[in-house]
Every structure is written in structure tokens, then in C-alpha cells.
Amino acid sequence: MTLPSHAQIVIIGGGIIGCSTAYHLAKDHKADVVLLEMGQLTSGSTWHAAGLVGQLRSSASITRVLKYSVELYKGLEAETGLATGWKMTGCLRLATNEDRWTEFKRTATTAKSFGMDMHLISPEEVKKMWPLMETSDLVGASWLPTDGQASPSDITQSLARGARMHGAKLFENVRVTGFDIKDGMITAVKTDQGDIQCEKVVNCAGQWARQIGAMAGINVPLQPVKHQYIITEKVPGLALDAPTIRDPDRRTYFKEEVGGLVMGGYEPNPQAWTTGDVPNDWGFRLFDDDFDHFEQHMVQAIERVPALENVGVKQMINGPESFTPDGNFILGAAPECKNMFVGAGFNAFGIASGGGAGWVLAQWAVDGEAPLDLWVVDIRRFSGLHRDRQWVCDRTLEAYGKHYTVAFPHEEYESGRPRLVSPLYERLKSHGAVFGSKLGWERPNWFAGEGQVGHDVYSMGRQNWFEPVGAEHRHVREAVGLFDQSSFAKFELSGPDAARALDWICANDVSKPAGRLTYTQFLNTRGGIEADLTVARLAEDKFYIVTGTGFRTHDHGWIEDHLPKGSRVTFTDVTEDFGTLSLMGPKAREVLDKVTEADVSNAAFPFGHVRELTIAGHVVRALRVTYVGELGWELHVPIGATGDVFDALMAAGKPFGIRPTGYRAIESLRLEKGYRAWGSDITPNDTPFEAGLGWAVKLKKDVDFVGRAALQARQGQALVKSLAGFTVDDPSVVLLGRETILRNGEPVGYLTSGGYGYTVGKNIGYGYIRNAAGLDEAWLKAGRYELVVAMQTVAADLHLGPLYDPGMQRIKA
């Protein structure tokens, strides 16, 4: 077949993700699609994948994506006439210690929150289901009956046939050699058999996705890692419908295959392949068998299934799989090129994810925005840091090694640190700072005092920082604390059309006079919340935009993508130009008054305003705003002056008891005040009305903005979900998020975030209550509420407003 000269959308890569995307583009969107595969369909990592299909992840949206895969695989053979090898065998996950068992109880609660029926069963029940298994060391197991397994090559061929049936054109043995790019957009895909003019490109090139992206200046931060598994001869007594097994404490997995077993694992000492380009001729090649490295899995597997000791190995597979620095796959629109979309880096979840990832990626490519909250897999969660291939390799190997470790709450990565530090790093270390890492930045999570262990000690209950963070929390409530938030992402938008552009992008009214701040969201076309940030108007034609550390690439890209065409503006990332010191607490004004000659009284410097102050001889942008519920200022300091200003504040604050405070205190403080966190409490799935932020939307103003039409269409309609707060008195309970909300004994939602409020002395959680028939305040208050926490039901009180107000210090209903 001759390549066409034009296509609406070109997909690069004929593995399961590429074929699934082609199938959904052709079937659901009737798109003119061309798929190019440099070898043969299924080559790369698809053909040698183990084929386990699990569904549950910690994100509701990603769980929905995986559940969609299962539903697709169930019916695909009937549609295309090609078998997929799908078997719904169910999956057993084994626990051999109490930490793992607690993790499983939390996981089972999450499953039920997401509408999945996961059971916790005894070792005796496991033995009945899998008689060949040694169960004497088990505490128990989780059982998800709707998980299963499939044949990766068969599914891919079935999807490919389905794509062709709906009009997609698939070409094998075509190598992409580059792109024609004009004004930051790909206009043509160049191949060794001719060029194809196109409107959009979807990069599904698997382990080659990094170098395909690089041809267009796009960074796809993935790392090929050698992953081994064996296929055994027939195992006497093994049932053909035996459940798949994940044995995380022994770091191994099993699935039945033609009477034998597929067995592999995730070792703590993984082997990277290349940090350079993957050879083009690696489509169906494997590495040499490495029994020395694999022996650690064999020992563990034989102890779990003793019959394996007398069974021959039919084949060992040692092939590269694409892994990422955080263990989540990569989807979405590349920030460097507006019309390239990426689906890659599936961390050995490609078969489980393939159906659903193709579904959402197709929708994303057609609409230009994600169809649901896919932040945890969005390519825009990365930054310039991820162009460092060695850093990506080191962090990816750490993530691979954690694949089967116990998922302790609040656990931090250790590799590649410290990478980015504020000018205060050494000063804060001297105060006992225990750092965490966010997008490469070292940030103080908490401060260890005299005689306290100066690092996190992970556990499933209260961790060693619980009391020190409580002390920081109380200090901010009662005196004054100083937070180093220099990692905040910071942008400037200036020019004659800056105000008009932001009016279109922001849901709230940013057209206030110079010297004013606006708290606002960005919305998608569904009215969902895409960002949550602060906009300061410095002058008629100049705005200063501050957002969260982790959202730097995402929010910068959202603004760039939505600037009205032809806008006379200059948009600049100034993150590294400014350090940020947040001075918070009832004594904050007294401290600030000591270091500046400016009038910082409430009359001269009200809440929601921005002023330039001189502190320690440096001009500082002072924003009167708070995320902790106390009097306070964010002081944005020229980066080189951050140390001088910190020292001046600490000296002036000494009589008032000033002390440095960390991010875990911020989290506790904001929970009491009811401030929302983007990515958990508010997401692209949630509208401002549902999140209790309708007051921050300028619907009364006669100006259009992104998402306005969707919100107007819902005005006057009853809400079907609403964010609410909950408290739990029982001090032994630990709330983390994903706990099920019960109203009058029936599940109505789940927590989006959770923690502890030291001022109110209670556990605090937030989550959406849902009722398809509609809900209002009276209906919400009429219910009796409980939370399911690690499979235990505990009484909870509902709250529809802040739990704390300065000077009040008590819970209000």
C-alpha cells in the first residue's frame, strides 16, 4: 500500500496503545487516521508483555480507564472476530505482614469507594482457591474477581482489525524520520516512504517515544528497564482457571498459561537498559537470559509454589519495558508542541491500560483537552528537570524497585536529591528541617527538635512527625511561623492585551485595579477546574501569577494554549527569579512592621492586596493572602536576596517567638480552614458550584470566559454532588483520602483528602457527597454520616463550612 499524502491524525507506533487509539479515533470520532509502525504490529514491548490485567489504582479516573479496558476486552472478539485471550480469572494479592494487611484494608476500602467489589479473605480461603500455594506465612489476601489476563498480541491484532473496520489505515515497515514544524505545530510527518501532511500526531511509539518526541523538541521522560519472567512447563494439578497471583512481599507475580505458569517479579536492584536512543531494530529482540539476576525471584516463587521446584522452564523472556520516574504512565498534549499527543511509558501496565488509554487519548486528541481528570498521568506533570536522562534513569529505577513495596503514606523518593534548592536550604537544615521533594525542589516538610529523629519513620499509623507538626501548627495559630515556599511556580503576563487575555482564561474577575489580588480557577469546556491559583495585578498592563510547585508546566501550558489569538502579550516564567517567604500567624503584622518602613496596618494594606515593600534593603512583592487561615503575607523576594530577608524576619520576630515551619503544617492548617487542594479536592471532574467555589466565578459579569457556557447551562439545576467536610473524634483513626462516605448507612461518595486538625483536635476529611436525584443543604444536613476507614466503619460529623476561624478556635456546623 502507498502512504497517503494527507491524514487528519497520524499515530506513530503499532503496539497496543497505538492500535487502541486508532480504533477509538476511527470508531468513536470517525477520524481520518493513519497509523505508522516501523516494524510489525505488536513489536516493541507489546509482544513480550506478561498480560496481567488489573483495574484498581488510587485515582478514580485511572481506575475508570482500567475498568473500561476490561469491558472492551470482554466484547472485542464479538466485534472483530479475533480472539483476545481474555479470561476473567480474578486476582489474589497476598499479605504476609500487618503493614501489608493494613494496606490491603485501605485498598479494599478504595475499591468499594470506586464501585468495585474487593474482598479480604483468610489464608484458608486462599488455599481452597489455589491448592498448590504455600499459605502458612499469610495474614490474608485481597480478592478482586473481575481482574484477569489476556494475550497482548491477540488483543492488539483485534484492535487493529477493529480500527481498519472503522476506516483507519495501518501501515507496517514505515519508519518516521522527522517532522515539518511551523509556528510550533507539526504540519507533516516525514517517513522513509514519503511525507504525510497532518493536523495532529499521536506518539504511541513505546520505548522509542522519547526519541520520536525529541524529533519535535518534545521531552518524553521514560526509561527502558530490563524485565524478566519465565514460562514453565505444565504444572501438575494447576487449574486452567487459576486466579492470577500478586505476591508483593515476595516481589513476584504468577498467571496460568496453557497449564503452566508465567512468573516474574520486581526486584529492588533493577537493571536499566540505555539512557540513549533505543536501536530501531529492537522490535522483536530480547536480551540474553540472566538467571543470576532472576534467581532472587525463583527462590521466592518456589517457596510460594513448591511444585515449581520440579517443573521445567519452557522459556525465559528478558525484554525492555518503558518505565517512568513516578510509576505512572504518560498521556496528553506535549507542552512544547501543541498538536503532538503522547501515550507511552506504561510501567508494565500497558495491557491493563491499553483499551482505556486509547479511549481517553483519542478523545483528548479530538477535543484538545482531557475528557476527565487525568492529572496523575498527564505529561505536563513533568518539567525541564526531566530532560536530564541520568536523573530520569535513577529515579525510574527507584520507582521500579518500589513497585511491590508497602505503600506507606507520605513516603518520599530518595534518588537524585537534592536537585533544586532554595537559597535557604542550609539555613533551614540548621533549624532541623526534614525535607521532601516536589518537582525536584527540596522543601521542608517539618522540623525536628532537640533529641528528635531527623528523618521520616514510615508506618501505617501516626508517623514520627505527628507531634512536631502539631507543635508547628499550634505555633502558627498562636504566634507566627515562616514558611519557605520559594518553589512556587511564578509567571508574569504583560502587554496591552494582558487584562483581556486573563479575563478569557480566568473564571473569576481579574479586572480589579492595580494593587489587587484575585483568587481564581481556570476551567475546561465542561466547567471542570483545571487550575487553582492567585493573580496579582501589578500595573494596568502587568500581572503576576502564582501557582503550586507541581503545576508549573501544566498551568504555564494552559495559559499559553488559551491566550486569544493575536494577543499583544508577553508571557514569562519567572519561577527562579523570586524566592517566597510566607509569614503567617496572629503576630505576623508585628514582625513585618519591624522590618519595613511601609504602613502594613489593615487599613493601609488590606487582605487581597499586593504592595511593594523594602525589607533589608531589597524591594519585595508582598501579597496579603493566606492558605492557612491566619493573618499573613507571601513575600516574593528577588532570589538572591532571600537569605537577607529571611535573616531580617527571624531577627525581628525573635521577641514574638517566630520559627520556621513546614509543608505538613500547611496541610493541617488548610484542612481546618476548608481551603481546597487542586488535584484532590478540586479537579477537572469538578465544577466550582460542586466545590463550593461558585462565589469565585464571574457569571454576573457580561464577559465570556473558558467554561462559562457549561456553567450557565447548569445554573438553576440541582447539584448531584457537593464537597463537604467531615470530622472523626476517634484519635486512632488515620484519614488519608479514598475512604468511603456513608449517609444513613449507604455509600454516597469518598474522601478526596484527609488529615488531622490540631486546633480542633480531630481527624478531618473532605469529599463529594453524591445523589443522582439532586441535593441541597437541607438534604445534606438531614443525613447521618459515617466513614469506612480501612474496612472499619466510624462515626463522622458533617461540616459545610470552615472548621476554624481566627479568634474563634472551635468547630462550627
Lowest mean pLDDT among 55-64, 86-95, 416-425, 452-461: 55-64
> The cell 487553582 sits on which residue?
532
Cell of 357: 488509554
What pLDDT is recorded for position 719?
Answer: 97
Q: Do the beta carbons of residue 611 and residue 598 sit within 8 Å?
A: yes
The pLDDT of residue 505 is above 80: yes
Q: Do the beta carbons of residue 230 and residue 262 sit within 8 Å?
A: yes
CA distance 489 to 467: 30
Q: Which of 437, 411, 432, 409 is nearest to 422 (CA)?
A: 437
The number of residues making up the chain comes to: 813
Calculate ∠ Cα 352-228-72, nearest 5°: 15
What pLDDT is recorded for position 44?
Answer: 66
Q: Do the beta carbons of residue 126 and residue 92 sit within 8 Å?
A: yes
Rounded to the nearest integer, the mean pLDDT of the chain is 95
Dihedral of CA 497/379/114/249: which sign? Answer: negative
pLDDT in tens, 537-563: 999 999 999 999 999 999 999 999 999
Residue 265: Cβ-neighbour burial (10 angstroms; 0-12, 13-18, 19+): buried
Lowest mean pLDDT among 146-160, 594-608, 689-703, 722-736: 146-160
Strand runs labelled E in 330-471: 330-333, 340-344, 433-438, 441-447
Cell of 679: 488535584
Question: For domain 578-657, which CATH number applies: 3.90.950.10, 3.30.1360.120, 3.40.50.2300, 3.40.50.10380?
Answer: 3.30.1360.120
Task: Average the pLDDT over 370-384 and give the result.
Answer: 97
Summary count for the chain: helices (H), strands (E): 18, 38
Task: Look up residue 73 and give its amino acid.
Answer: Y
Cell of 446: 517539618
pLDDT in tens, 90-134: 999 999 999 999 999 999 999 999 888 899 999 999 999 999 999
Task: Average the pLDDT over 470-482 and give the result.
Answer: 98
Q: Can you name the residues that pair with 317 across neighbouring β-strands?
A: 229
Phi-psi region of 295 (alpha: psi -120 to 50; beta: other; left: phi over 0): alpha
Taking the C-alpha atoms of 44, 47, 51 and 54 in order, what is their torsion angle to the nearest 10 degrees?
A: 30
**586 pLDDT tier (thresholds 50, 70, 90):** very high
The 3-state DSSP class for residue 193 equals: coil
Strand runs labelled E in 656-697: 659-661
What pLDDT is recorded for position 639?
Answer: 97
What pLDDT is recorded for position 813?
Answer: 34
pLDDT in tens, 273-289: 999 999 888 877 888 99
The pLDDT of residue 793 is above 50: yes
CA distance 790 to 109: 6
CA distance 482 to 588: 9
**What would the 3-class secondary structure string for 704-747 be?**
CCCCHHHHHHHCCCCEEEEEEEEEECCCCCCCCCCCEEEECCEE
The H-assigned helical ranges of 137-254 are 152-165, 209-214
The pLDDT of residue 224 is above 50: yes
Residue 591: Cβ-neighbour burial (10 angstroms; 0-12, 13-18, 19+): buried
Task: Average the pLDDT over 552-575 and give the result.
Answer: 97
**What would the 3-class secondary structure string for 13-80 be?**
CCCHHHHHHHHHHHHHHCCCEEEECCCCCCCCCCCCCCCEECCCCCCHHHHHHHHHHHHHHHHHHHHH
Per DSSP bridges, beta strands 271-272 and 223-232 are: antiparallel
**CATH architecture of structural domain 6-84+150-222+326-381:** 3-Layer(bba) Sandwich (3.50)
Cell of 51: 498480560
Residue 465 C-alpha from the chain's centroid: 24
> The cell 512544547 sits on which residue?
336
CA distance 103 to 81: 41
pLDDT in tens, 225-264: 999 999 999 999 999 999 999 999 999 999 998 899 999 9
User: How many other C-beta atoms can be found within 10 angstroms of the C-beta atom of residue 450?
Assistant: 5
User: How many other C-beta atoms can be found within 10 angstroms of the C-beta atom of residue 112?
Assistant: 18
Phi-psi region of 278 (alpha: psi -120 to 50; beta: other; left: phi over 0): beta
Cell of 704: 465570556
Q: Which of 537, 533, 577, 580 is nearest to 556 (CA)?
A: 533
Q: Do the beta carbons of residue 555 and residue 531 sit within 8 Å?
A: yes
The DSSP letter of residue 603 is T
Phi-psi region of 184 (alpha: psi -120 to 50; beta: other; left: phi over 0): left
What percent of the chain clears pLDDT 90, i.e. is strictly above it? 90
Q: Do the beta carbons of residue 535 and residue 543 sit within 8 Å?
A: yes
What pLDDT is recorded for position 811?
Answer: 45
Total-model pTM = 0.96
Q: Which of 207, 202, 209 is nearest to 362 (CA)?
A: 202
- Concatenate the DSSP letters of all residues of 497-549 into one string: THHHHHHHHBSS---PPTTBEEEEEEE-TTS-EEEEEEEEEEETTEEEEEE-G
Going by C-beta distance under 8 Å and a sequence separation of 6 or more, which residues neighbour residue 384? none
Cell of 198: 497532518
Strand runs labelled E in 157-251: 169-171, 176-182, 185-191, 194-203, 223-232, 244-247
CA distance 308 to 298: 9
pLDDT in tens, 737-787: 999 999 999 999 999 999 999 999 999 999 999 999 999 999 999 999 999
The pLDDT of residue 485 is above 80: yes
Residue 577: Cβ-neighbour burial (10 angstroms; 0-12, 13-18, 19+): middle
Cell of 501: 487575555
Task: Look up residue 431 and give its amino acid.
Answer: H
Cell of 653: 520576630
User: How many other C-beta atoms can be found within 10 angstroms of the C-beta atom of residue 579?
Assistant: 25
Q: Can you name the residues that pair with 729 across neighbouring β-strands?
A: none
What pLDDT is recorded for position 49?
Answer: 64
Going by C-beta distance under 8 Å and a sequence separation of 6 or more, which residues neighbour residue 429? none
Phi-psi region of 646 (alpha: psi -120 to 50; beta: other; left: phi over 0): alpha
Please state the φ and ψ torsions of residue 420, each to the nearest 5 degrees: -115, 125
Q: Can you name the residues that pair with 749 across neighbouring β-strands?
A: 741, 769
Calculate ∠ Cα 806-811-813, nearest 5°: 120
The pLDDT of residue 812 is above 60: no
The 3-state DSSP class for residue 383 equals: coil
Q: Which of 667, 764, 673 is nearest to 444 (CA)?
A: 667
pLDDT in tens, 609-620: 999 999 999 999
The pLDDT of residue 578 is above 60: yes
> What are the boundaries of each domain within the chain?
6-84+150-222+326-381, 578-657
pLDDT in tens, 626-664: 999 999 999 999 999 999 999 999 999 999 999 999 999
- For the chain, the C-alpha Rg in angstroms (whole number) is 27
CA distance 641 to 329: 39
- For 387, the enclosing helix (H) or strand (E) is none
